[in-house]
């Protein structure tokens, strides 16, 4: 038996309204069309579903049995359509983001603030961890997108979208700025106490690659996991640290930190969005990505 969904939907509306004419009004179709659909359904089933009265229609015993099943199906379809509409309108949903604490604070937060203002019902979950851990969670389906310091090792299953160029620099407090006269050659840098992020991290890997490319091997005096904590130690006078200029603009302006120019200069790198290739993000995630990549204002 091959009865289409539309026949059952019309049957449901006639049964709940108790009237052919009311059902036609609800469905925005003509009464003859409703009558024809009910008659066709009864013929296909070989059963009478309604008793016609002067006041409308009443379900037969067979009609009541069918209605108990059809009611669940039609209302489930309707609820599903409403859920998708709500999701498309961003009335609810969830976004799971992986990023370092530093990127979350200095890059992601302004976008999230704007997104939350527009779509306050979307739940946002942020996981802060090392890049390798975040990539594992993305591939396992536990995260939707990553915001990472790049470049990193290429992988065929990842899609990377560049969103922001950044410049790494070396910084010190006023004492170290005056000691170095604000500039050093890379070999001279080894004569001062240095503070680097602890391995493994993309930032530390990028720094090590820069040193190796210039035939320098430098052992820092202090290694700290937290980027922000390194900046606090540098400001307190523990030594010269490795920083991302765009993340410390206020400190440079307020002169709690000073840039110490190093020759040769560290090449620029960038921040990017990482998603799984050939995977379509949900509507909420797509909206956030569009916001970050300036496709929407």
Q: In the predicted model, what is the mean pLDDT of residues 139-154?
A: 87
220 pLDDT exceeds 70? Answer: yes
Q: Which pTM value belongs to this model? A: 0.67
The pLDDT assigned to 297 comes to 45
- Tens of pLDDT, residues 221-245: 999 988 889 999 999 999 999 999 9
94 pLDDT exceeds 50? Answer: yes
DSSP E strands, the chain: 50-53, 56-59, 93-99, 122-128, 145-150, 158-166, 168-172, 183-185, 194-197, 222-224, 240-244, 258-263, 269-276
Burial pattern 223-236, b for ≥16 Cβ within 10 A else e, equals ebeebeebbebbbe
DSSP E strands, 54-144: 56-59, 93-99, 122-128
- Tens of pLDDT, residues 111-132: 999 999 988 988 899 999 888 8
Query: Which range among 187-201, 220-234, 268-282 shows the weakest confidence by mean pLDDT?
Result: 268-282
152 pLDDT exceeds 90? Answer: no
């Amino acid at each position: 038996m091959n009865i289409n969904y539309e026949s059952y939907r019309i049957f449901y509306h006639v049964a709940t309204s108790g009237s052919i004419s009311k059902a036609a009004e609800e469905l925005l179709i003509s009464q003859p069309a409703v009558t024809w659909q009910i008659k066709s359904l009864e013929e296909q089933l070989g059963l009478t579903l309604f008793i016609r009265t002067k006041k409308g229609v009443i379900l037969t015993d067979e009609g009541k049995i069918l209605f108990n099943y059809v009611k669940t199906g039609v209302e489930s379809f309707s609820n599903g359509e409403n859920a998708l509409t709500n999701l498309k309108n961003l009335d609810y949903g969830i976004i799971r983001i992986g990023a370092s604490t530093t990127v979350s604070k200095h890059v992601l937060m302004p976008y999230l603030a704007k997104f939350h203002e527009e779509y306050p019902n979307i739940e946002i979950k942020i996981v802060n961890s090392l890049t390798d851990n975040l990539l594992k969670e993305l591939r396992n389906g536990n995260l939707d997108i990553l915001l990472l310091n790049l470049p990193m090792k290429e992988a065929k299953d990842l899609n990377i979208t560049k969103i922001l160029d950044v410049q790494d620099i070396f910084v010190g407090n006023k004492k170290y700025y005056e000691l170095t006269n604000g500039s050093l050659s890379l070999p001279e840098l080894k004569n001062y106490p240095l503070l680097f992020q602890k391995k493994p991290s993309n930032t530390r890997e990028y720094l090590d690659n820069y040193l190796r490319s210039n035939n320098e091997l430098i052992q820092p005096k202090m290694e700290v996991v937290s980027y922000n904590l390194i900046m606090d130690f540098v400001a307190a006078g523990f030594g010269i640290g490795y920083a991302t200029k765009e993340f410390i603009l206020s400190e440079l302006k307020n002169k709690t930190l000073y840039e110490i120019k190093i020759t040769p200069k560290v090449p620029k790198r960038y921040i990017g969005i990482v998603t799984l290739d050939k995977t379509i993000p949900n509507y909420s995630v797509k909206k956030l990505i569009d916001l970050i990549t300036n496709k929407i204002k």
